[in-house]
Amino acid sequence: MQPCRKSLWLALSASWLLLILLGICPLFRLAVPPKPPPGHPQGWPHWLDAAFLSSFSQPGEPPEDAPQLPQAPRGSSCSWGTCFDTSKCRGNGLKVFVLPLASPTSEAPQRILASLETSGYHTPNTSEACLLLFLPSLDQRGVCQPLPPHWSAGKNHLVLSLHPALCTHRGQVMVAEASPSADIFRPGFDVALPLLPEDHPLQGGAPGQLQQHSPHSGAVWLAVAEERGGWRIAGIQDSACPWDEHCDLHPRPQQALLCFLRTQLGEMLPNATFCLIPGHRPATSHFLQALQAGCIPVLLSPRWELPFSEVIDWTKAAIIADERLPQQVLAALREMLPGRILTLRQQTQFLWNAYFSSVEKVIHTTLEIIQDRIWGASAHSSLLWNSPPGALLALPTFSMSPQDFPFYFLQQGSHPESRFSALIWVGALGQPPLKLIQAVAGSRHCAQILILWSSEKPLPDRWPKTTVPLTVIEGHRKASDRFFPYSTISTSAILSLDAHSTLSTSEVDFAFVVWQSFPERIVGFLTWNHSWDEARGGWSYSAKMANEFSMVLTTAAFYHRYYHTLFTHSLPKALRTLVDETPTCVDVLMNFLVAAVTKLPPIKVPCGRKHPEPAPLAPGGPGLGSETQPLGQDCINRMVAEFGHMPLVSSRVRLDPVLFKDPVSVQRKKYRSLEKP
């Protein structure tokens, strides 16, 4: 009995122990208010009666029944809707009248004025103008030239001051000024300009300095804008801080090292991956330098409005970060993926070349932004502004659909269509090019044939029967007619031909298939090359056979229909006049235009038999000399002057059919007639 009781006691106490151990925890938990286990966020409660909660807005609430009419905008602030009268701008787009300069002291405004006058925006007539432009300048005393008194109250006025805030006029006047302070800037009304250096070129301008897509292996990682105007470079050390103040505050050995390592670069542009730019306004001049150098601007809480921020998506070309989180910014830069760095770098160059490299581009961009506001729904889309070649070269008057342009097939996930229109130019004494018509019509890609009859002879009554529609357009016997955007052209690809050209169907087919891979370029058979002529101190070009070429003759070439629109509507009038006077220049001009847009050389494809001679287009008369030196050597130099730079790019490549002249059976080859001697 005794041992049994003992064991019973043992069992009892063990049970009690168990009970206490097991029981106390829950009891304890009950006693202490519940706390969520760490790591499991407690979250917003799920209310039992959530379904019975009432909605925030009750239908038929009074406010909707008490409509009110506009309250006048408070304060003097202006917006596009209230302070711009678009009714004056209907019809012929943005016409700008420039207020004559009263007493210009410097040459710059005069030059700007001159450049504006040659542009398509200018009108000499105030009544026709939709925008009145005023270029403020300083007089001898450095005092702002006052605005004409009746201006400040008038609508549709723009004060364009390329230099920062010398003259501030507000009120109903739109202000386009360099790096405006974010506090006074009126989004959607004012225009933010870049801060241009004094010696910024008026036209053309230096291209971006980036020579390769990815950063140089020897490139500095980070450059920091100096207040005095130069740059200093910072190393790549971890936790090293490039800010002066911080370095001084925490003189840890590593950072001290960094601070001593830095080199004064003076005014030199940095060859760095990132360029750190403080947020205060004096630093804005660094911004453009970095952009040109292809150094990714890292802007620390900028207190100024970024240039053309209304249309340019700066997040694609710059990093805008908070200056209060330096370590985080640096860490983010260090961890940035190579793909992002690549994209940002390239975008800086595109933006620089498209909108900033010359004063003219800056002014045209400003006017284009205002024009876009007037156009509303039919303005440039963000894609057109933010991808090459840029909005100045992509005219929304051509089409509202990006896939109609030669530039955006990839972004749109579309392809060039598989048909082309042949445009045959019949010059002064030309005969109907019957053989050529047959050869072209034989191509399975040909959609239509257009004859541009510029001959003095009467039109023939009968044209050969073709499988595709044939249309005759009567030209005005001007060379620039050739590149007029005729509404009868129904395809995006144009095969431009001269009545003298000799082409086989096979050649046409192959060239067209190649063009489909390069829809933004000219694809042609005969080529010229340009070169710098030391002796004459100018550019010259030659039709001699050479290892390189930079131009393709438009007497037989494929290109996109859009270039007709650009040729007619965006080239300066002076250039088109030049071409009409010297018709031999027309090929050069078209090549200049396409090269300026694409920044790439044209494409050469092989021609089967020998062409009679690579003759320039000369609709003016029998001037088709057999000499290899093309006529009108001077036009190339005049064009360089008008463009502001030499846009042509040379190529050493010819694209041949895959089996071209390969030692296989001719039967295997698709374009065998190309190989006939």
Partner 1 sequence: MCASVKYNIRGPALIPRMKTKHRIYYITLFSIVLLGLIATGMFQFWPHSIESSGDWSVEKRSVRDVPVVRLPAESPIPERGDLSCRMHTCFDVYRCGFNPKNKIKVYIYSLKKYVDDAGVPVSNTISREYNELLTAISDSDYYTDDINRACLFVPSIDVLNQNTVRIKETAQALAQLSRWDRGTNHLLFNMLPGGPPDYNTALDVPRDRALLAGGGFSTWTYRQGYDVSIPVYSPLSAEVALPEKAPGARRYFLLSSQMSVHPEFREELEALQAKHGESVLVLDKCTNLSEGMLSVRRRCYQHQVFDYPQLLQEATFCVVLRGTRLGQAVLSDVLQAGCVPVVIADSYILPFSEVLDWKRASVVVPEEKMSDVYSILRSIPQRQIEEMQRQARWFWEAYFQSIKAIALATLQIINDRIYPYAAISYEEWNDPPAVKWASVSNPLFLPLIPPQSQGFTAIVLTYDRVESLFRVITEVSKVPSLSKLLVVWNNQNKNPPEESLWPKIRVPLKVVRTAENKLSNRFFPYDEIETEAVLAIDDDIIMLTSDELQFGYEVWREFPDRLVGYPGRLHLWDHEMNKWKYESEWTNEVSMVLTGAAFYHKYFNYLYTYKMPGDIKNWVDAHMNCEDIAMNFLVANVTGKAVIKVTPRKKFKCPECTAIDGLSLDQTHMVERSECINKFASVFGTMPLKVVEHRADPVLYKDDFPEKLKSFPNIGSL
Which parts of 329-358 interact with partner 1 (CB under 8 A)? Answer: 329, 331-333, 336, 338-339, 342-343, 346, 349-350
Q: Which is nearer to partner 1, 398 or 463 (CB)?
A: 398
Where would I find the H helices in 69-227?
A: 80-83, 107-118
| DSSP-derived secondary structure letter, 96 | E
536 interacts with partner 1 by CB under 8 A: no
Say which of 404, 509, 587, 634 is annotated catalytic: 587
What H or E segment, with its residue span, contains residue 321?
A: strand 319-321
Are 429 and 402 contacting, i.e. CB atoms less than 8 angstroms apart? no
Rule CB under 8 A: is residue 324 a binding residue for partner 1? yes
> Which residue, 409 or 463, is less far from partner 1 as judged by CB?
409
Interface of this chain with partner 1, residues 54 to 93, rule: CB under 8 A? 54-57, 59-71, 73-75, 77, 79-82, 86
Q: How far is the CB of 340 from partner 1 (least distance, A)?
A: 8
State the burial class of residue 313 (Cβ atoms within 10 Å of its Cβ: 0-12, 13-18, 19+). Answer: middle
Q: Find the binding residues for partner 1 in span 89-118 (CB under 8 A).
A: none
Pick one of 31, 45, 107, 462: the residue that binds partner 1 (CB under 8 A): 45
Minimum Å gap between C-beta 393 and partner 1 is 12
Is the link from the previous residue into 389 a cis peptide, with omega within 30 of 0? yes
Residues numbered 575 to 614 that lie near partner 1 (CB under 8 A) are 598-601, 604-605
461 as an active site residue: the answer is no
Contacts (CB under 8 A) with partner 1, residues 483-512: 510
Residue 667 interacts with partner 1 (CB under 8 A): yes or no: no
- Of 370-409, binders to partner 1 (CB under 8 A) are 376-379, 381-382, 386-388, 400-401
Q: Give the number of residues in contact with partner 1, rule: CB under 8 A.
A: 146
Strands 272-277 and 296-300: parallel
Nearer to partner 1, 228 or 324 (CB): 324
C-alpha to C-alpha distance for 284 and 306, rounded to whole angstroms = 9
Q: How far is the CB of 206 from partner 1 (least distance, A)?
A: 15
Can residue 249 be called a binding residue for partner 1 (CB under 8 A)?
Answer: no
Residue from 105, 221, 669, 673 touching partner 1 (CB under 8 A): that is 669
Query: Shortest gap between Cβ of 370 and partner 1 (angstroms)?
Result: 15
How far apart CA 100 and CA 113 sit, in angstroms, is 9
Question: What gap in Å lies between CA 137 and CA 104, rounded to an integer?
Answer: 7
Count of CB atoms situated within 10 Å of the CB of 484: 18
The CB-of-351 to partner 1 minimum distance in angstroms stands at 11
Which H/E stretch holds residue 409? helix 409-412
Asked if 132 and 158 count as a contact pair (C-beta separation under 8 A), the reply is yes
Q: Distance (Å, rounded) from C-alpha 487 to C-alpha 485?
A: 6
Binding flags for partner 1, 412-441, as an x/- string (CB under 8 A): xxx---------------------------
Q: Judged by CB, which is closer to partner 1: 113, or 546?
A: 546
Residues making up the chain, counted from first to last: 677
Which of helix, strand or coil describes residue 446? Answer: strand
Q: Please, which of residues 167-186 interact with partner 1 by CB under 8 A?
A: 182-183
DSSP 251: -
Of 252, 435, 457, 670, the one binding partner 1 (CB under 8 A) is: 670
The structure tokens listed for 512 are 């067209």
- Considering only residues 155, 254, 265, 313, which one is a binding residue for partner 1 as defined by CB under 8 A? 313
For helices 634-643 and 586-598, the axis angle rounded to 10 degrees is 30
Positive or negative: CA dihedral 264, 266, 267, 268? negative
Pairing of the two strands 272-277 and 220-225: parallel
Rounded to whole angstroms, the Cα distance separating 85 from 78 reads 12
CA distance 90 to 70: 26
Instruction: Give 389 or 427: the residue with its C-beta nearer to partner 1.
Output: 389
State in angstroms the smallest separation of the CB of 640 from partner 1.
19
Q: C-beta of 498: minimal distance to partner 1 in Å? A: 22
Identity of the residue, 540 or 650, whose beta carbon is nearer to partner 1 in the bound complex:
650
Q: Which is nearer to partner 1, 2 or 126 (CB)?
A: 2
Give phi and psi for 663, each to the nearest 5.
-75, 60
Q: Which of 19, 143, 249, 641 binds partner 1 (CB under 8 A)?
A: 19
Instruction: Give the whole-angstrom CA distance, residue 673 versus residue 677.
Output: 9
Site string for partner 1, 215-244 (x = CB under 8 A): --xx--------------------------
Q: How far apart are CA 585 and CA 289, in angstroms?
A: 36
- The per-residue b/e assignment along 181-212, b for 16 or more CB within 10 angstroms, e otherwise, is ebeebbeebbbbbbbbeeebbbbbbeebbbee
191 contacts partner 1 (rule: CB under 8 A): no
Q: Which is nearer to partner 1, 279 or 464 (CB)?
A: 279
Per-residue x/- marks for partner 1, 449-488, CB under 8 A?
----------------------------------------
Quick one: which of 31, 42, 125, 534 contacts partner 1 (CB under 8 A)?
42
Nearer to partner 1, 57 or 126 (CB): 57
Secondary structure E strands in 477-577: 493-498, 523-524, 527-533, 538-542, 551-552, 556-560
Q: Pick from 227, 248, 456, 662: which binds partner 1 (CB under 8 A)?
A: 662
- Which of 162, 175, 193, 210 binds partner 1 (CB under 8 A)? It is 210
Residue 34 interacts with partner 1 (CB under 8 A): yes or no: yes
Instruction: Examine residue 307 and tell whether it contacts partner 1 (CB under 8 A).
Output: no
- CA torsion through residues 381, 384, 386, 392, sign: negative
* Binding status of residue 537 toward partner 1 by CB under 8 A: no
CA–CA separation, 601 and 240 (whole Å): 45
Residue ranges in 540-559 that form contacts with partner 1 under rule CB under 8 A: 545-549
Residue 527 binds partner 1, judged by CB under 8 A: yes
Least CB distance to partner 1 at residue 60 (A): 7
**DSSP 8-state secondary structure symbol assigned to residue 220:** E
List, by residue number, the catalytic residues.
Answer: 587
